[in-house]
């Protein structure tokens, strides 16, 4: 259950990064709506990270933070490519794939600990 909470928290981290990007592209009322979405996503993301690090099957803080941050980074890179037309170069995708492999490795190692 804690891993599910952590993954959801990472997705909300992606949400707050996207919200900031959209807020920068807009003005007026629309900008403020994106900033409200940012604040909501930050609160939910941090709460889910907090919950994932507690309880009987707590994820160690170092692992939890690394995985949470990586999920957010991966989601933000993918969203940037799809929503903001950022470049999808070979090297960018290569290092994104190494990040994915590292997150999976951390989950495997933490599950065995």
**What pLDDT does residue 111 have?**
63
What integer best gives the mean pLDDT of the chain?
A: 92
Residues 1, 52 contacting (CB under 8 angstroms): no
Specify the number of domains making up the chain: 1
* pLDDT tens by residue, 13-40: 999 999 999 999 999 999 999 999 999 9
| Proportion of the chain above pLDDT 90, given as a percent | 74
Q: Indicate whether 57 pLDDT > 90.
A: no
CA dist., res. 36 & res. 16, Å (int): 10
How far is it, in rounded angstroms, from Cα 49 to Cα 69?
Answer: 10
Q: Are 17 and 72 in contact (CB under 8 A)?
A: yes
Domain limits at 29?
Answer: 2-112
For residue 2, name the pLDDT band (cuts at 50, 70, 90): very high
Helix, coil or strand: residue 54: coil
pLDDT at 103: 82
Tens-digit pLDDT profile for residues 8-17: 999 999 999 9
Sign of the C-alpha dihedral computed for residues 19, 21, 23 and 25 taken in this order: negative
């Amino acid at each position: 259950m804690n891993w599910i909470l952590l993954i959801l928290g990472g997705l909300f981290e992606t949400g707050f990064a996207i919200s900031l990007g959209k807020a920068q592209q807009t003005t007026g009322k629309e900008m403020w709506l994106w900033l409200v979405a940012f604040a909501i996503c930050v609160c939910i993301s941090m709460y889910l990270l907090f919950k994932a690090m507690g309880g009987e099957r707590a994820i160690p803080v170092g692992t939890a933070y690394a995985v949470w941050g990586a999920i957010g980074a991966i989601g933000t890179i993918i969203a940037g490519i799809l929503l903001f037309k950022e470049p999808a170069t070979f090297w960018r995708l290569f290092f994104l794939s190494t990040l994915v492999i590292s997150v999976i490795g951390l989950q495997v190692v933490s599950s065995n600990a």
